[in-house]
Amino acid sequence: MFINYKKTLFFLFFAAGHFAVQAQQSTNSKPQMVGEGVISTTDFEFNFTTTQDSKLAFFSKALLPDWRRMSIMYSEQKNGKWQKPKLAPFSGQYRDADPFISPDQSTLVFISDRPSKYQKKKSDYSLWMVKAPFLKKQEPVLLEGDIYKNLVPLYPSLAANGNLYFSASDSTNDSDIYFARLEDGKYNHAQKLSFNTDKHRDLDPIVAPDESFVVFTSATRKGLGGSDLYVSFNNNGQWTEPINLGNGINSPSSEGQPGISGDGKKLYFASPRATAISDYAPREKPISNSKLKAELNSPVNGLPNIWEVSIEEVLKLKPSI
């Protein structure tokens, strides 16, 4: 989703058969901040993707307001705690973002404006991939196909069968969600999902491994805040009308850029939502410089953090057929 229209949408933030069984094992029904002070910090964080064992995560950081210096970070989890993030071995020179680890754990795909034969201008993104192990120093490989013919694909995710889902804007700046099948090593013939219309701008899709549903972001559908998360379920090849994930996940703030944990138990998303009730009253007494600094350096500073919630909160919205 990282093209010029982001400047006008500043607040638009953002194996298969066992998926549902695994999801039922989780009990977190309310969103929780991920790695407060380590993953979720005073910086601008977005995207979050993990390995199946949740021992390794990748996410993005950038400078606002113009999305400069976008880079992909990684963090390892040890003894249940996320460690200080570092630059991913394949990132740090170009504008890289939107990491996603494939369901079979073999591939990490992401967007980058590094030089590509598909670029029409230098700022265009292409889709790139690295193979596991992801912390090994390696050169990313370009994803090939005719999906670049009239589109700049963004926010990639892969189903277990290799189908690629992404969002892209057309010449009218309308953003829609597409999928493309892998054919002879290339992704060709991108098709819009059936619920897309020119009335709504939908972006940042994350697909379930078995393609049973897709979660995405929109600011133009009737929602609770600046942007909300929605889900559409796959009914024998037809996608249902999108459903707002509701005020248990969405808020008066902005939610977006979803992800699904490698074990299928959690939904991740980005949001600048606050964790405390707004308080404008005077303090009972003056505070010290160190306490003021701690307040100002809180992760709850108006920039997005990474949140997680049980995938059950998505699955329970599935309409009865």
- Between CA 124 and CA 153 the distance in angstroms is 9
Residue-level pLDDT at 230: 98
Residue-level pLDDT at 171: 65
- How confident is the prediction along the chain (321 residues), in pLDDT tens digits per residue? 433 333 333 333 333 333 433 333 333 579 999 999 999 999 999 999 999 999 999 999 998 877 788 999 999 999 999 999 999 999 999 999 999 999 999 999 999 999 999 999 999 999 999 999 999 999 999 999 999 999 999 999 999 999 999 999 876 678 999 999 999 999 999 999 999 988 899 999 999 999 999 999 999 998 898 899 999 999 998 999 999 999 999 999 999 999 999 999 999 999 998 765 566 789 889 999 998 888 888 898 889 999 999 999 999 999 986
DSSP assigned state of 85: P
At 43 the three-state DSSP class reads: coil
Residue-level pLDDT at 55: 97
Residue with tokens 């989703």: 1
Residue-level pLDDT at 294: 84
Residue 197: count of CB within 10 angstroms of its CB: 10
Backbone angles phi, psi at 138, to 5 degrees: -155, 160
Q: What's the pTM value of the predicted model, to 2 decimals?
A: 0.88
Per this entry, what is the length of the chain? 321
Residue 238 forms beta bridges with which residues? 235
Residue-level pLDDT at 5: 33
- Between CA 168 and CA 203 the distance in angstroms is 7
Instruction: Pick the closest to residue 204 from 181, 241, 175, 184 (CA basis).
Output: 175
Cα separations in angstroms, 316 against 20, 242, 259: 11, 14, 17
Instruction: Pick the closest to residue 300 from 45, 52, 29, 10 (CA basis).
Output: 45
Residue with tokens 């074990």: 263
Chain-centroid distance of CA 28 in Å reads 19
- Between CA 109 and CA 92 the distance in angstroms is 16
